[in-house]
Amino acid sequence: MVTLKINDQEVKVAEGTTVLEAAKQLGVNIPTLCNHPDLCVAGNCRVCVVEQKGARTLIAACAMPVSEGMDIHTNSLKVRNARKHIVELLLSEHRADCTKCYKNQKCELQTLANEYSFGEHIFLDLVEDHAYNIDRSSPSFLKDDSKCIRCQRCVRTCAQLQHVSAIAVANKGAHMKISSFHDRPMSHVVCTNCGQCVNRCPTGALTEKTYIDQVWDAIYDPDKHVVVQTAPAVRVALGEDLGYDPGERVTGKMVTALRQLGFDSVLDTDFTADLTIIEEGTELLTRLKKVLVEKDKNTALPMFTSCSPGWIKFIEHKYPHMLPNLSTCKSPQQMFGALAKTFYAQKRNIDPAKIVSVSIMPCTAKKYEADRPEMRSSGYKDIDFVLTTRELAVMIKQAGIDFRTLEPARYDSIMGSSTGAAVIFGATGGVMEAALRTAYELVTGKPVPFTNLNITPVRGMEGVKEATVKIEGTTEEWRFLEGAELKVAIAHGLVNANKVAKAVSTGKASYHFIEIMACPGGCIGGGGQPIPTNVEIRKKRMEAIYSEDMHMDLRKSHENPEVVAIYKEFLEKPNGHKSHELLHTHYIERESY
Amino acid sequence: MDNKGLTKVDLIFESVDVRKVMTKAFEMTSEEIIQEILESGLKGRGGAGFPTGLKWKYTAAEKDPEKYIVCNADEGEPGTFKDREILDKVASKVYAGMAIAGKAMGARKGYIYLRGEYRFLLPQLFVELHKFHKMINEIGYDFSIEYRMGSGAYICGEESALFESIEGFRGEPRNKPPYPTVSGLFSKPTSINNVETLVTAVMIIEKGPQEYVKLGTKDSRGSKVFSISGDTPIPGIFELELGMTVQEFVNEFGDGDTKAVQVGGASGFCVPRKKFAETIIGFEGVPTGGSMKLFNSSRSMYNVLHNYLDFFTEESCGQCTPCRVGCQQLLKGVEKVKKGEAKSTYLNELVKLADTMKVASKCGLGQSVGNAFRSIVENFREEIIY
C-alpha cells in the first residue's frame, strides 16, 4: 500500500494505482478527456494535469502511478490556469457550432468548456486553417474531423478492443489527424461499422448517422404502415438515456412509448431471434451430420454465428477463406425485415410497398447491414431504417413523453412473441445458450442438463469462453451424436473474435460451434448503446438481460408459439425452401485496407 | 563566477586505441566503470544533461537479464551537426562507448538510431562496425550493435518516441514513469545516450576521471563539441572547454556585430547582447546540446522566432494538446501581432501560454518551445511588434 496526500487529505491505495484513481477514492474529481475505463492510458489531452509538490512540471493524473509521500494538489492556481489554457486550446481547434451538433449537451468538451471557458476566448480560431470534410461514406456513422480533439480514444478502441485499426493517427504537428488507410473514405476500409469508436468519442467528431427525421416522416405519412422491432439489448439500456440507472429493465414502458410515438405495430426482434435459433440450430445439426455421418468434405466446421454484422464484415475482410464456416442465417433483424414485407404483409393484408420497417438496435453496424444489397429478399429493402438505442431516446424526448410515468404494455402480434432464449441474445454467450437449450432438446428429447436451464459456463465477461456439452440419450434420428462432446467457444469484442478465428484458421482449435459478437459484452455493449458504456455498465446490463430471461414464461426458442405457427403457416420447415429464400444469405470476400 | 575562459580542447576527435580502452573497461567491474563516470561528473551531451553515471547505475540496478544500450544519433536540433562529424570521424569510439556502457549496465545489445538524413554515412559506418564486431570478438566479449534509421521526424530524437520508432510504431513520446532505465526499448531496461556522451565516456575511461574533471566547472564538467553557425566568419565544429561566457564565445566566433546568440537550438535560449557577459554556457547558465547560432544586427528576430515556431508547429508529434495546439497558437499569434491585427499585449497572453506548454506538455519538445519563445519575445519585443 502507498500513502499519499491529495489536496491535504491522506489516502492509502494499492501500488500501481494512478493519481486519478486515488483522487476518485477521496471523492476528488479530476476532469479527463482522453481517458476511458475500457482503454489503455494515453495521457495526451493533458486536461487531468495536477500539481505534484517538488516536480518540475505538472503531471497527468491519469498516467501517473502513485508513489509514497506524494503531495498532490488538483485545484491549485497553477493547475487551474493550465487547465483553462488546455480547454481553450482544444476549443480553438474544435468547430464549436454546438447548437447544430448532434452531441449538443452530451459532449465532454462542452461540459469542460462550461467549467473552464466562459466569456472571451483567449486564443485564435484554428478551425478555418484546415480544410475539413465530413466523411459521410459509412451508412452507420459520420466522421467530422473539425470536431475532433485528437484524444485518440477511437484509435485505441479500434486497435485495442477491436483489432481492426481502420482508423489511426496520420501526420504530425498541426496536421496530425485521425485518418484511415491512405485517407480512404470509411466505407472503403476495413471498418466494421461496429460503432465502438462512436460510443467512446467525447465530442461530435464521430456520431451515428441518424435517421430520426426519416422515421418521423414515415410515421406521419398516412399511406405508410410503419412497423418497429426492438432488439433484445435495447430494453436493458434505453433507461440510461431517460434518467434511469444502468441495469433497469424498461421493456414494457418502451413498448408503450413506441406506440405513443405512432408506430403502427410494435414488434419484437426477439421473435426472429427465436426463429434464428431454429434455423441456425438446424443448420448446425445438418452440418454435423454431413461431416460425421456422410463424411462430406465440402461442409465446413466449426460453424460461426452470423448475428453480428460487425463480425460479418470483419471476417469478410480478414478471414475470407473461412466464409463457408459462417452460418448462412441472416441476423434476427434481417429475418424480421424479410418476413415483415412478406409473411406479415400477407397476414395483415397490407401492400408490402406501403410497409416501412424500422428497427431499434443497440448497434450502428445494423444500419450498414440493412443497406447490404443482399438484404432485399422481400423484393423491397427489407429494413428501411435502423435507429440506435440513443436515437430512440431522442425521439421519446422529442415527443415530450414522460417515460417514467408510462404504463408498461405488451408487444403486438404477429411477430411480437418471444422467449427468454431470445432475450439473452443481447449478452455474450446468449446465442450459444439459446441454441444449446433448443438443440440439446431436439436431439435428446430432454432439456439441457443445467439447473433452471441456465448454462452458466457460456456466460460472463471473459473474452473467450469455451465449453463442452456431452450429448447423451439421443433419439433415433440423432443416434450418430450419442456420446459426442459438442465443443463450443464464445468470443466478444473483435480482438477476442480475432484470437478465436486465428486459432481456427491455423488449426490450433477444434470446435463445433462458435458464437461471435463484435462488441465487448455482446449487444448490451453495442456501439449504438447509451454513452457512457463501460465495463461496470455492461455488467449491469448483462444482469438485467438474464433477469429478463428468468422472468419469461417460455425460455426455449422452439416453444415460442408464433415460431411454431410460422412454420406451419408459411415457412413449412426449418432450412426449407422458403427459409433459404428469406432467412438465409451469402457473404462477400473483401479487401483488407 | 566560476569562469574558465575559452579554451579549445581535443578529446572527442583525438585518436585512441579503442581496443586498449575496451580491454581496460572489460577488466573493470560494472561498479568501477559507473563509479568513474559518476566521478567525472559527465552529463548527457544531447542537451538535457542528465548525469550519465546515474543513468547507467539505474539501468545496472534493474534485474531483467535483457537490457539495451541505445545510441541516440537522431541529431535533429536546428543548428547541430556535431554528431554527424563524430560518426564520420571517430565511429569506432562511439561503438566502444556503447560496449563499455553495455558492460557497465549488463546490456549485450546496442542500437544506434541514426537520423534519416545521415543515411549517406552508412556505408563507411558499416565498414567500421564490421571492424568493431571483429575486434570485440577477438577480445572475447559478447556485444553487438545494429543500426536503425530515422525517417525525418524531429520528435523521434525524444528518447521514448525513438523507442516507439525502433519498435515499429508511430514515433510518439510515452508517459513517464516508467523511465527508460526501468522500461525502455521493447519494455526492457535501457540506457539511451547521445553520440558525444558515449565518446566522452570512452575518453574518461582512457584518461581517468581525475584528469577529466580538470576541465570545465563544478556544474559543467569537461569539454563539449559545439556546432557553430549563423553570422560567424568561422562556422563549423569546435570542441571547447565548458564554463566560458557567451561574451568570450562571441569574441572568438562573432563577426563583430553579434546581437544575439541562440544557445541550444530551437528548443534552447536566445541570449541578447546585454546579457553576453553574465551568461555562462553550461548547466549553470544556458545549457546546450551543441547548437550555437550567432545573429548579427542585420537579422530580424521576428523572422528567427517565426522560423522556430514554424518548425515546432510542423515537428510536434501532435499527440498532446499543449504542444500541438499551443505551437499553432504561438505561431499564428505572433503573426497577428506583427501584422497589427492583434494588440501587442497579446504577446503577454502568448507568454503565459508558453509557460503552460512548459509545465503541461507530455514531453521535452512541448516543454521547451517556451524557452526560445520567452527569451526572444522578452529580449526583442519591439522587433516582434514593429
Mean of all residue pLDDT scores within chain A:
97
Which one from A240, A280, A441, A515 is the annotated catalytic residue? A280
Verify whether residue A307 is a known catalytic residue.
yes
Helix axes A77-92, B321-339, angle to 10 degrees: 70
**Alpha carbon distance, N-terminus to C-terminus of chain A:** 47
Interface contact flag, A86 B360, Cβ < 8 Å: yes
Kindly state which CATH superfamily the domain A282-329+429-525+552-582 is placed in.
Answer: Fe-only Hydrogenase (Larger Subunit); Chain L, domain 3 (3.40.950.10)
Bond preceding residue A520 cis, omega within 30 of 0: no
Quote the minimal CA–CA distance from B20 to chain A in Å: 42
A582-593: pLDDT as tens digits? 999 999 999 998
B348-373: pLDDT as tens digits? 999 999 999 999 999 999 999 999 99
Residue A396's pLDDT is 98
Verify whether residue A369 is a known catalytic residue.
yes
Q: How many CB atoms lie within 10 A of CB A37?
A: 10
A183 touches chain B (CB under 8 A): no
Chain B residues with CB-CB distance to A174 below 8 A: 313-314, 316, 318, 324, 327-328
CATH for B301-385 (1.10.530.10, 1.20.1440.230, 3.40.50.300, 1.10.599.10) = 1.20.1440.230
| Residues B107-133, mean pLDDT to the nearest whole number | 98
User: Would the pLDDT of B2 be above 90?
Assistant: no
Q: How confident is the model at residue A119 (pLDDT cuts 50, 70, 90)?
A: confident
Cβ-based burial of A136 (10 A; exposed 0-12, middle 13-18, buried ≥19): middle
Using alpha carbons, list the distances in angstroms from residue A518 to A46, A236, A313: 31, 19, 10
Residue the block writes with cell 461496429 = A194
Interface contact flag, B321 A89, Cβ < 8 Å: yes
User: Would the pLDDT of B246 be above 60?
Assistant: yes
Question: If contacts are CB pairs under 8 Å, which of residues 174-193 in chain B contact chain A?
Answer: 175, 177
Interface contact flag, B319 A176, Cβ < 8 Å: yes
User: Would the pLDDT of B5 be above 80?
Assistant: no
CATH 3.30.70.20 correct for A123-207: yes
A143-183: pLDDT as tens digits? 999 999 999 999 999 999 999 999 999 999 999 999 999 99
Q: Which of A110-124, A380-394, B48-62 has the lowest mean pLDDT?
A: A110-124
| Residues A234-245, mean pLDDT to the nearest whole number | 98
| Residues B56-79, mean pLDDT to the nearest whole number | 97
B362 touches chain A (CB under 8 A): yes
State the count of interchain CB pairs (< 8 A) between A and B.
119
> A358: which residues sit within 8 A by CB, 6+ positions away?
A215, A218, A226, A227, A228, A229, A263, A383, A384, A385, A386, A387
ipTM: 0.95
Verify whether residue A327 is a known catalytic residue.
yes
Q: Return the ∠ at Cα B174 (arms to B226 and B198), rounded to 5°.
A: 35
SS3 A19: helix
Verify whether residue A98 is a known catalytic residue.
no
B108 touches chain A (CB under 8 A): no
Residue A259 C-alpha from the chain's centroid: 25
Verify whether residue A283 is a known catalytic residue.
yes
pTM score, whole prediction: 0.95
> A85: which residues sit within 8 A by CB, 6+ positions away?
A122, B322, B326, B352, B353, B356, B360
Please state the φ and ψ torsions of residue B272, each to the nearest 5 degrees. Answer: -85, 165
Going from N- to C-terminal start, the domains of chain A cover 2-75, 123-207, 282-329+429-525+552-582
Residue of chain B minimizing CA distance to A66: B177
Q: How confident is the model at residue B4 (pLDDT cuts 50, 70, 90)?
A: low
Question: If contacts are CB pairs under 8 Å, which of residues 19-58 in chain A contact chain B?
Answer: 41, 43-47, 49, 56-58
Residue B3's pLDDT is 55
User: Would the pLDDT of B1 be above 60?
Assistant: no
Verify whether residue A433 is a known catalytic residue.
no
Quote the minimal CA–CA distance from A197 to chain B in Å: 18
Query: What DSSP letter does each residue of A191-203 carry, written as one string?
Result: -----HHHHH-SS
| Residues B167-187, mean pLDDT to the nearest whole number | 97
Measured CA to CA, the distance from residue A295 to residue A289 in angstroms comes to 8
Chain B residues with CB-CB distance to A49 below 8 A: 359-360
A445-477: pLDDT as tens digits? 999 999 999 999 999 999 999 999 999 999 999
Q: Return the ∠ at Cα B105 (arms to B100 and B107), rounded to 5°.
A: 80
Residue B47's pLDDT is 86
* Percent residues over pLDDT 90 in chain A: 98
A2-25: pLDDT as tens digits? 999 999 999 999 999 999 999 999
Residue A120's pLDDT is 86
Residue the block writes with cell 446465442 = A431
Amino acid at A212: I
Residue the block writes with cell 545549457 = B287
Q: Considering the domain A2-75, what is its CATH architecture?
A: Roll (3.10)
| Contact (CB, 8 A) for B352 and B313 | no
Amino acid at B365: L
Residue A117's pLDDT is 83
Which one from A265, A327, A377, A557 is the annotated catalytic residue? A327
User: Would the pLDDT of B28 be above 60?
Assistant: yes
Verify whether residue A377 is a known catalytic residue.
no
Mean of all residue pLDDT scores within chain B:
96
Which one from A103, A330, A366, A367 is the annotated catalytic residue? A366
A537-578: pLDDT as tens digits? 999 999 999 999 999 999 999 999 999 999 999 999 999 999
Interface contact flag, B367 A57, Cβ < 8 Å: yes
Q: Which of A58, A66, A53, A108 is nearest to A83 (CA)?
A: A58
A64 touches chain B (CB under 8 A): yes
Which one from A307, A329, A363, A519 is the annotated catalytic residue? A307
Q: Which of A168, A151, A170, A150 is nearest to A159 (CA)?
A: A168
A394 touches chain B (CB under 8 A): no
Mutate to test the interface with A, among B325, B353, B361, B362 (most CBs of A within 10 A): B325
Going from N- to C-terminal start, the domains of chain B cover 18-212, 301-385
| Contact (CB, 8 A) for A512 and A484 | no
| Residues B13-24, mean pLDDT to the nearest whole number | 96
Verify whether residue A147 is a known catalytic residue.
no
Using alpha carbons, list the distances in angstroms from residue B316 to A129, A498, B193: 17, 34, 22
Q: Which of A249, A244, A237 is nearest to A549 (CA)?
A: A249
A258-268: pLDDT as tens digits? 999 999 999 99
Query: Domain B18-212 carries which CATH code?
Result: 3.40.50.11540
| Contact (CB, 8 A) for B56 and B95 | no
| Residues B132-136, mean pLDDT to the nearest whole number | 97
| Contact (CB, 8 A) for B262 and B289 | no
B49 touches chain A (CB under 8 A): no
